Amino acid sequence: MKGCSYRSWMIITATISVIFSCARQAAPSGGPRDITPPKVVRSIPENGALDFAGNRIVITFDEYLAPLDKLDEKFMISPPLIKKPDIELKGKSLFIEFHEALKDSTTYTLYFGDAIKDLNEGNIIPNFQFVFSTGDVLDSLSVTGNIYKAFNLEAPENTLILMHKELADSAPIKLMPDYITLADIKGGFRINNVKEGTYQLFGLQEKNNNKRYDLPEEGFGFMDNPAEINRTKNYLPVVVVKDTTKVTPAKGNTVLKKPVEIPHIDGEYKLFLFTALKKNHYLTSSGRKTAYLINYTLSLPPDSIGFEFKIPDTDKKSYFIEKNLTGDTIDVWLTDSSLYSTQQIKTIIDYPYTDSTGITKLKTDTIPMRFVSTRAMRNKEAMTKYTYTTNLMNGFLKPYQQIIFLSQTPFRAPDTTKIHLYETHKKSKTKIPYVLKKDSLNSKKYYLKSKFKEDSTYLFVADSGSFGNIYGKVADSIGIKFSIRFSDSYGQLTMNISRVSEAVIIQLLDHQEKVLSERKIKGDSKIEFSLLEPGNYRLRAIYDLNGDGKWTTGDYKTKRQPEPVSYFPGEIEIKANWENVLPWDLSKKNQKDQKLRAKKE
């Protein structure tokens, strides 16, 4: 009976399961994912409403929203308010509440960027905006433009575009702007719903979130003349950014989704972002990186004011001082073991300092320099062998290139009786003369010069103890074979520069825009860059308006724009044993192809 009851129970359970599975409507597995961003189904007031007199806006979407993404960074209201409105998300609705009176007869635009997305799939509404007016007219003019970094013409990050109705020079420093937006990742910007009038246009990378250019380290850009915004040239329809998301089917239920592409804006107004030169003298840092190295950095080169260092009751022969070319970085190398083995050293420095009245004079500071080496560190240092590096490691040199030796600590004078240079042949080698010379500014650098011949091989030998540092450590012996390449292993670039009306600096750059070489010209010129490795290069021209031989940044107080630059259109391919001869018209300033920016990104 028990077995019979058990079988009956199993039959009943299976029957119930079948009935319930038939009744339950489940979504089929697989199928496309939702890729549609949320849509507004209603709002109070409506988008584009007139005569708004309330203090609250409610926007309802057709689906639940995810928590708003980085709203503090992405949300803006134009014209800006002193008090930020409260923004709260409840289910499918967005609640915006204002805490200050809105201006009469003013069109307001709320920018959300890409902060709004659905809850399930994270589909973003690109560039979502909500517009209303407190008057009976909705302003309908638009302002478009571009902002780029002045020195390399790349798009800057997190840069605000400010529009001021007030035309006084102090407006961007003291006042909130009348309109504001955030430039996109390509440097383009568009401000919609602008009232007709004359405005100053600025770019700002702010540091203190107050929408004003009131800190000298903030990035800033300005136009030489105000912008006339009127209906004849600035009445532009709003461009709706289409969702260019591409969906690619993949294995199983996966859907690959590419991000929304930001269209390139070629706007009417151009701004060039710069950081003003520091004008105040002060000590920016000091430290004791190792037991025997003390370092100071200054905000500006000390020039004629100078810099002085001393350790009380210590012989000056116990240390020596090195400065960089401009004098704003100072290294003090301690050479006396009784000094650098001391944990704390009292140092006194005299350096230029600008006080609150703007007067610069020598200031004296007493700075204790402390370095404590743990037992593990001391043991590690004792076991570490002294080494140096050389550009011979890759096995070849260019014609006319010299050999370079670099150390992490100052070299003592090398023992040239233990250093040998040979020209090698199949079964023999010939000793050749050389000159070993110390760098004039850097005690950690030496040069070796000799008369090398193309397509010849050489052997560099440094016996044990030939190189060492001032702290008594010496390097092991090394032997390096290297060769001198033929000149035809390299390429040459010849540029015919035309339509030059001022001093210009032509810079040869690699793909990442590192400066490889530069030439200074005045007027139309022919310049050559020889012995170039095969590869792709770029060219930048700096219009040296003040003739100081370097790029000069801008200054808003004196209304000086940063010196303009221009790039040769496109990259230049250099091939071995090949000369590229190219013309370059420099009549247009601040030019850079968008494709160069895209490649660098």
Which domain range does residue 86 map to?
A: 40-133
The mean pLDDT of 84-100, rounded to a whole number, is 94
User: Which CATH number belongs to the domain containing residue 118 in this structure?
Assistant: 2.60.40.1220
pLDDT tens-digit readout, 331-355? 999 999 999 999 999 999 999 999 9
Q: How far apart are CA 542 and CA 513, in angstroms?
A: 14
pLDDT tens-digit readout, 417-435? 999 999 999 889 999 999 9
- Tell me which of 19-23, 105-109, 326-330 is least confident: 19-23
- Identify the pLDDT of residue 69: 80
- Identify the pLDDT of residue 488: 92
Closest to 549 measured CA to CA, from 529, 580, 578, 522? 522
Give the H/E segment covering residue 7: helix 2-23
Whether 522 shows a pLDDT value over 50: the answer reads: yes
User: Which CATH number belongs to the domain containing residue 527 in this structure?
Assistant: 2.60.40.10
Q: Are strands 227-229 and 188-194 parallel, antiparallel or unpaired?
A: unpaired
- Identify the pLDDT of residue 246: 42
pLDDT tens-digit readout, 457-494? 999 999 999 999 999 999 999 999 999 999 999 999 99
Tell whether 582 is covered by a domain.
yes
Tell whether 249 is covered by a domain.
no
The mean pLDDT of 397-413, rounded to a whole number, is 95
Conformation bin of residue 186: beta by default, left when phi > 0, alpha when psi is -120 to 50: alpha
User: Which CATH number belongs to the domain containing residue 449 in this structure?
Assistant: 2.60.40.3710
Whether 183 shows a pLDDT value over 80: the answer reads: yes
Whether 252 shows a pLDDT value over 50: the answer reads: no
- CB-CB neighbours of 18 under 10 Å: 10
Alpha helices in 65-220 (DSSP H): 71-74, 171-174
Closest to 540 measured CA to CA, from 187, 112, 153? 153
Res. 253 pLDDT band, cuts 50 70 90: very low
Whether 218 shows a pLDDT value over 50: the answer reads: yes
Q: In what order do the strands lie in the sheet with 445-449?
A: 389-390, 403-406, 445-449, 435-438
Distance of alpha carbon 590 from the chain centroid: 19
Tell whether 373 is covered by a domain.
yes
The mean pLDDT of 176-186, rounded to a whole number, is 93
Using a pLDDT cut of 90, give the percent of the chain over it: 77
Q: How far apart are CA 467 and CA 444, in angstroms?
A: 11
Q: Which of 259 and 41 is assigned the larger pLDDT?
A: 41
Q: How far apart are CA 243 and CA 127, in angstroms?
A: 11
Specify the number of domains making up the chain.
4
494 and 481 within one domain: no
- Whole-model pTM: value is 0.82
Closest to 47 measured CA to CA, from 115, 122, 117, 112? 112
Task: Count the helices and strands in the chain (H runs, E runs).
Answer: 7, 41
101 and 62 within one domain: yes
